[in-house]
Structure 1
Amino acid sequence: MNADEQDFGLGDGPAVKVSVSMRAGTVRRLRERLGKREFSAYVDAAVERQLERDLLEEALLVNEAIAGPVSPEVEEEIAVMFRDFMTSPELREES
């Protein structure tokens, strides 16, 4: 582990230059959408979000192992709440 990478939590610390291979079409679309200056910030934010989701998934799996699976009824209730939230007028006003 590089000294620049240690002692920092997710999303913290100085920027560290890394080399990453990506598909050419993805890179082209990102550059068209963002321009060169925003490319790194966009990729950094996307990776941070994915790491957060991975950690959440791991926590949910641990919880399920301890407490048992979520019932289909609760899953459906959560899905309805999420859909309602995503289509709420308040959310659209912020966009």
Structure 2
Amino acid sequence: MSEPTGKYSITMPRDIAEAAKARSGPSGLSAYVAAAVARQIERDNLNELIGVAEAEHGPISDDEVQALRDQLAEARRAQTQGGASAA
């Protein structure tokens, strides 16, 4: 069962609205905007979590960030190769 919805009026620049409309596809503009807002909320929540973690443990260095990016890229490569060999 899907979540209950509400109708809202928002204001945004016309060029952004038209670009969103053009990209929204069969799900429609409302679903496209809802997904974008949901992603922004996730980012805001993640930034809050990072702030709390950095306050407790100190900031993460650029080298640590790069090492984690490298780990993620390697995991994605392994997943892609694993999926390709299973097919």
Report the TM range for the smaller structure's normalisation. 0.7 to 0.9
Q: CA deviation at 1:33?
A: 2.5
Of structures 1 and 2, the one scoring higher in RCO (CA 8 A, sep 6+) is: 1
What corresponds to 1:27 in structure 2? 17
When you count helix as a share of all residues, which structure comes out higher? 2
| Structure 1 residue 34 displacement after superposition | 2.5
Structure 1 residue runs of 5 or longer lacking an equivalent are 1-11
| Runs of at least 5 residues in structure 2 that lack an aligned partner in the other structure | none
* Cα deviations by residue, 1:26-47 (Å, 9 ceiling, x for unpaired): 1112222235861001100110
Cα distance change on mapping 1:85 and 1:39 into 2, 3 Å: farther
For normalisation by structure 1, the TM-score amounts to: 0.67
Q: Could you tell me which of 38, 53, 58 is aligned with 2:43? A: 53
| Count of residues in correspondence between the two structures | 81
CA RMSD of the aligned region, Å?
Answer: 2.6
Change over 3 Å in CA distance of 1:88–1:23 after alignment to 2: farther
Identity in percent:
32
TM-score w.r.t. the length of structure 2 is: 0.72
Q: CA deviation at 1:84?
A: 4.4
